[in-house]
Amino acid sequence: MFRNRMPRYEVLSQDAMATLDKGWRRLVSELGVEFMSQRALDLLGAAGQKIEGDKVFFDPDWILEQVAKAPREFDLQARNPAHDLHIGGDAMAFGAVYGPPFVREGQVRRDATMEDFRNFTKLAQSFPTLDSAGGVICEPNDAPLDSRHLDMTYALATLTDKPFMGNVVSGPNAIDTIELTSILLGGGQGREAGRARMEQTPALISLINCNSPLRWDDRMLDSLFEYAEANQAVVLTPFILMGAMSPVTIPAALVQQIAEALTGIALAQTIRPGCPVVFGSFLSNIDMQSGSPTFGTPESGMGLLCTGQIARHFGLPFRSGGTLTSSQVPDAQAGYEALMTLLPTFLAGTNWVMHSAGWLEGGLVAGYEKFIVDIELLQMMHAEFTPLEIDEASLAFGAHEEVGAGGHFLGAMHTMERFRTCFYRPLLSSSENYERWMRNGGNDAAARATKIYQDKLASYEQPPLDEAIREEMEEFVVRRRKELGD
Amino acid sequence: MFRNRMPRYEVLSQDAMATLDKGWRRLVSELGVEFMSQRALDLLGAAGQKIEGDKVFFDPDWILEQVAKAPREFDLQARNPAHDLHIGGDAMAFGAVYGPPFVREGQVRRDATMEDFRNFTKLAQSFPTLDSAGGVICEPNDAPLDSRHLDMTYALATLTDKPFMGNVVSGPNAIDTIELTSILLGGGQGREAGRARMEQTPALISLINCNSPLRWDDRMLDSLFEYAEANQAVVLTPFILMGAMSPVTIPAALVQQIAEALTGIALAQTIRPGCPVVFGSFLSNIDMQSGSPTFGTPESGMGLLCTGQIARHFGLPFRSGGTLTSSQVPDAQAGYEALMTLLPTFLAGTNWVMHSAGWLEGGLVAGYEKFIVDIELLQMMHAEFTPLEIDEASLAFGAHEEVGAGGHFLGAMHTMERFRTCFYRPLLSSSENYERWMRNGGNDAAARATKIYQDKLASYEQPPLDEAIREEMEEFVVRRRKELGD
C-alpha cells in the first residue's frame, strides 16, 4: 500500500489551532450534541456526562480522555494477506465511490443495478491503486431493499480479496455484515474462527455519519454499537456542506467538525475502549445562489488541509478527500475538480480515502469513465508523492560527458538503463501528436476511458476462494433473505 | 495583484540541497557552458572566466557573486499604474500562453492569425486574474514574418493596459520592442521621457531560453544584451524536457537547470550589474515510448516544487508553472493536467507564471475554451491560497445557538450577512442538478466555455490611450515595416 513519505502541508498556526480548540470545547459543553439513541444516552450519562432529553453536554476533558484510548494507528485485514492494510501514520488507503443511486456510462445516465455494483467491484479489484472497493459502490436498485446489504457484502467478499466497508443501514444489517465476514475469514475453520481473527485484527471499516449539525441519528448509532463492540473500525464522519449543515465560515465548520467527530469517537471508546476509530471529514460547501452542493471547491481544499493537521493534533488517523466533483459528465470540470480534492488529500496525508474512483455529479452518479479518470489521478499522485532520491549518482554527470552541450539524451547510456521506469506511464492521458491522435479516432479522454474500463472488465479474474466458504456465505445470504421477507 | 501568503511546500532536505549545489558547480566548472555569441564570450572572458572555443568554464563562486548583484524583487510598470506588478517575494503574476502556432475553437483546429492574437489579447485584458497577456500569445501566421513583432507589440500595447513581454527573435526586434514601449510610456512627453521611465522601472519582461543542454544561442543572447542594457527584466529559462534535453533523473535535470539559469543570470549581471532577472524554469519530460513531450506529469510537478526552493536558496525571483497539458482538446485530461501544474505553481509560490491560460496540445495550440478553463483554475487557486482568518467571530457560535442541532443554516443571520462573498463563485463550473442541467442544454464544460469567451469578447472594452501616442506608435510600426521590407 502507499506510504506518503513527503512532508505534510500544514496551514494552521499554533494560535489558530488554540482558537479552534476553544471553539469545539464551547460547542460540546455549552450547546451539547444530540444522540437519538437511548443506549448511547444511557452509556454517556453513566460515564458522567450531563443529559437533557436527547442532548448530551460534554466535559471536553472527558472527551479527550476517551480519544486517548483510541489507537493512533491500526491494521485492517483482508482475506488475502497481500491486501492487508494499515490505517494511520504515513499510510494512505483508497476506496472507490460510495453511495450513488445512479450510474453513467458514456452518454447514458440511469438507475444503478446489482450488475453495476458487481462491475465496479471488479474494477476496484483490478486496479492495484485501489486498496478497497469501499462499500456501497453504487446502490443496486434492482435488488430487494431489505436484503440488499447481503448481496452487496457477498459481492464485495467474493469478487475482491481486499478489505471492504460494512453496511450501516441498521444494527441488524451490521450484524449480518460481521457474520458474513467471519465466515469469509474463518479460513474453512468456521465462523467462530473468523470472528476470533476479526477480534484480533479488524477486517471491516464502516462509515458512521453525523447528521450535522450536532446530531447523531439512531440507525447509524445502532451500527456503531455493533461494529465497535466487535472491535471493527468505524469512521466517525461529520457530513458538512458549509452554508447548509454548518455556518458559512470555514473555521466554524472546522470547530463543528471537531465537536462532532470527537463526540462520536468518545462514544465509540465508551462502548469498547481501544476500538479502532478514524476521525472522519466530509467537508464541502453549497452554492449560495442555488443551494446545490459543490465539490472540488477552494473552500473544501482548504478545509481538507486543516483537517489533516487537526486530526494529527488529536493523535487520530483521519478520513477525508477523494476525487469529488459536481460535474454531470467526465469533462474538464470533472478532471480539475477531482484533482482539486485529490491533491490536497495527499498534501494532508489522508489515511483513509473514500470516493477515490468513480464519483460524479455530486456523488449521485457512479461514472464508469470517471472511474478510469480517477485511477489515472491516483496513480499520478502515488508517483508525485514519492520523495526524490538525490545523491551523486542521480546527478548523471557521466551522461552530460557523453552527450555534450546542445546534444540530446535519448540514446545516452544513462537513459538506456532507466527508460522503462524513469517516468510515470499514463493509463489514460494521451500525448500523441495531432496527426496520430486523429488517425486513432480523435478520441477525448472520456471516449478513451470507455475502452479502458471495458477491456478491464473483460480481462477481470476472480480471486480464488475456498468453495466451502463461498457456499456457507451463500447459505447465510439465502437464509437471511428469507428471514427478512425478501 | 495576488500575494501568496500561504506557506511554501518545500520538499528538499538540506542534504539534498547541498548535493545539488555540488552538482551545478561541477557542471559549470568541469564541463562548461556554450555561448554562441562572441560578445558574450568576450565579456565573460574579460571578467576572468576561462574560454575555449564557444565554451565557458566558470568559477562557481564568481557566478554567485554576479547572482548576488541581481535584485531579489523588482517592480514592473504598466501603462496603467493600476496594473503595475511586483516580481518576487510573495507576489505571483500570471501571463497567458506563449508561442502556439495553432488555435482551437470548438471542434476546429487551424493556423493562428493576427485576429486570434488580438482576440486572446482582449481576453487577457478582460480577466483581472491575468496580470499580463504575456507576449507571443499565439503566432500570427498571416502577418508578415519580419515585421510580425511590431504588430504583436502594437496589439499588446493598445488592446491591454497591462505589462507585456518583449520580443526575443533577434537583437533588432528587441530594440523595436523597447522603442515602441518607450513611446507608450512617454505619456505624451515623447519617447525619451518613456525611455527614462523604463530606465527607472522596467516595463518589459522577456523570455530568454537556453538551448538545453548547456548552450545559449546567439539570437536569444542578442535580445538579452538589448534588454539587460536597457534595464528591462529578463527571464533566463532552461528549456528542459527530461529524457531529451536532460538526463532522465529529476535531480540531474535540477542541477542542469541551476547551471543554465545561473550562467545566463551571471551574463546578464555582467552586461549590466543590478539589472532585473528571473530564475526561469520550464521543466517537464518526454514519453519514453514515443518521444512526445508530456505535461502535467508527476515529474514536472515534483520539479516545480524543487525549483521554487532552489530559486529562494539563490535569493532570486523565479518563473515556472502554468496550466500545461498534452491534451489535444479541453477534456478531462486537459482539466487535470492543467491543475497538476497549477497547484504546485501555487504551492511553490511562483513569482512569474507564463502559460497561465489557453495552453493546449503541448503548447502547439492556443485554445479558446481552454483559456476559460484556466481562468477558472486561476480564480480557484487565488481563493484557495488565501489564508483563513481564524478568530472568535469566525467560529460563529451565535449561528449555532440560532440554528440548533439538526437544523440548517441557510436562513441564519450569520449566513445572511455573508452569503454573497463567503464562497468562491465559479465562472465555468456547474453544480446544477441533472434536470436543470439537461433543460439548459446538457452542455459540458467545454461547450459552456465557448459561450463564456464569446460573451467576453463581445463585451470587451479597449482601455483608453492618448491618440497622439497611438499615432506615434503606428507611425513607428509603418516606418519600421517598410525598413524591414515587409
Does the pLDDT at position A188 exceed 90? no
* pLDDT bracket for residue A17 (50, 70, 90): very high
pLDDT for residue B138:
98
What is the per-residue pLDDT across B463-481, written as a single tens digit (0 to 9) for each?
Answer: 999 999 999 999 999 999 9
Interface contact B334-A332, CB threshold 8 A? yes
Q: What is the ipTM of this complex?
A: 0.97
CA distance A146 to chain B (A): 27
pLDDT for residue A187:
82
B461 reaches A (C-beta below 8 A): no
For A88, the grid coordinates are: 494511520
B226 reaches A (C-beta below 8 A): no
Helix (H) or strand (E) segment spanning residue B44: helix B38-46
For A315, the grid coordinates are: 493523535
pLDDT for residue A252:
97
CA distance A243 to chain B (A): 6
Residue B159 lies in a domain: yes
* Residue of chain B minimizing CA distance to A326: B431
CA distance A483 to chain B (A): 34
Count of CB pairs separated by less than 8 Å, A with B: 376
Does the pLDDT at position B190 exceed 90? no
To test the contact with chain A by mutation, choose from B29, B31, B400 the residue with the greatest count of A C-beta atoms within 10 A, namely B400
* pLDDT bracket for residue B187 (50, 70, 90): confident
Euclidean distance between CA atoms B350 and B320, whole angstroms: 6
What is the per-residue pLDDT across A253-287, written as a single tens digit (0 to 9) for each?
Answer: 999 999 999 999 999 999 999 999 999 999 999 99
Euclidean distance between CA atoms B419 and A386, whole angstroms: 40
To test the contact with chain A by mutation, choose from B300, B423, B430 the residue with the greatest count of A C-beta atoms within 10 A, namely B423
For A150, the grid coordinates are: 447481503
* Residue of chain B minimizing CA distance to A433: B292
User: Percent of chain B having pLDDT more than 90?
Assistant: 99
* Sequence-distant contacts of B175-180: CB under 8 A, at least 24 apart: B175/B226, B176/B149, B176/B150, B176/B480, B177/B149, B177/B153, B177/B204, B177/B206, B178/B204, B178/B226, B178/B227, B178/B230, B178/B232, B179/B476, B180/B150, B180/B153, B180/B154, B180/B473, B180/B476, B180/B477
Residue B177 lies in a domain: yes
Interface contact A395-B23, CB threshold 8 A? yes
A442 reaches B (C-beta below 8 A): yes
What are the chain B neighbours of A423 within 8 Å (beta carbons)? Answer: 242-243, 248, 285, 287-288, 294, 297, 299
CA distance B131 to chain A (A): 21
Residue B442 lies in a domain: no
What are the chain B neighbours of A388 within 8 Å (beta carbons)? Answer: 11-12, 16, 250-251, 302, 306
- DSSP labels, A247-289: -SSHHHHHHHHHHHHHHHHHHHHHHSTT--EEEE-EEEEE-TT
Interface contact B285-A430, CB threshold 8 A? no
Residue B26 lies in a domain: no
Does the pLDDT at position B188 exceed 90? no
Euclidean distance between CA atoms A304 and A319, whole angstroms: 10
Q: Which residues of B107-142 are buried (b: 16+ CB within 10 A; e: fewer)?
A: eebeebbbebbbbbbbbbbbbebbbbbbbbbbbbbe
Interface contact B335-A339, CB threshold 8 A? yes
Contact between B380 and A298 (Cβ < 8 Å): yes
CA distance B363 to chain A (A): 11
Per the structure, how many domains does chain B have?
A: 1
pLDDT for residue A366:
98
- DSSP labels, B237-277: EEEEEETTTB-SSHHHHHHHHHHHHHHHHHHHHHHSTT--E
Interface contact A406-B34, CB threshold 8 A? yes
CA distance A329 to chain B (A): 7
At A272, which CATH number? 3.20.20.480
Instruction: Report A:235-264 residues touching B (Cβ under 8 A).
Output: 242-252, 255-256
Interface contact B328-A408, CB threshold 8 A? no
A395 reaches B (C-beta below 8 A): yes
What integer is the mean pLDDT of A362-369?
Answer: 98
Residue B56 lies in a domain: no
Instruction: Report B:138-177 residues touching A (Cβ under 8 A).
Output: none
Distances, alpha carbon A324 to alpha carbons A327, A340, A378, B203, B374, in Å: 9, 8, 13, 42, 19
For A51, the grid coordinates are: 443529559
Does the pLDDT at position B400 exceed 90? yes
Euclidean distance between CA atoms A307 and A255, whole angstroms: 10
Euclidean distance between CA atoms B34 and B217, whole angstroms: 8
Interface contact A248-B407, CB threshold 8 A? no
* pLDDT bracket for residue B486 (50, 70, 90): confident
Interface contact B432-A10, CB threshold 8 A? no
Does the pLDDT at position A435 exceed 90? yes
What are the chain B neighbours of A248 within 8 Å (beta carbons)? Answer: 396, 409, 414-415, 418-419, 422-423
Interface contact A399-B247, CB threshold 8 A? yes
Interface contact A244-B6, CB threshold 8 A? no
What is the per-residue pLDDT across A93-140, written as a single tens digit (0 to 9) for each?
Answer: 999 999 999 999 999 999 999 999 999 999 999 999 999 999 999 999
pLDDT for residue B46:
98
* Residue of chain A minimizing CA distance to B19: A391
Q: Cβ–Cβ contacts within 10 Å for residue A468, how many?
A: 11
Residue B331 lies in a domain: yes
pLDDT for residue A19:
97
Contact between B103 and B112 (Cβ < 8 Å): yes
Residue A306 lies in a domain: yes
What is the per-residue pLDDT across B34-73, written as a single tens digit (0 to 9) for each?
Answer: 999 999 999 999 999 999 999 999 999 999 999 999 999 9
- Find the domain containing A332 and state its range: 2-10+67-384
Residue A406 lies in a domain: no
What integer is the mean pLDDT of A141-154?
Answer: 97
pTM comes to 0.98
Euclidean distance between CA atoms A462 and B36, whole angstroms: 62
pLDDT for residue A23:
97
Does the pLDDT at position A190 exceed 90? no
A381 reaches B (C-beta below 8 A): yes
What are the chain B neighbours of A394 within 8 Å (beta carbons)? Answer: 249-252
What is the per-residue pLDDT across B209-218, written as a single tens digit (0 to 9) for each?
Answer: 999 999 999 9
What are the chain B neighbours of A395 within 8 Å (beta carbons)? Answer: 19-20, 23, 249, 251-252, 255
Euclidean distance between CA atoms A303 and A238, whole angstroms: 13
B333 reaches A (C-beta below 8 A): yes
What integer is the mean pLDDT of A399-410?
Answer: 94
* pLDDT bracket for residue A486 (50, 70, 90): confident
Does the pLDDT at position B395 exceed 90? yes
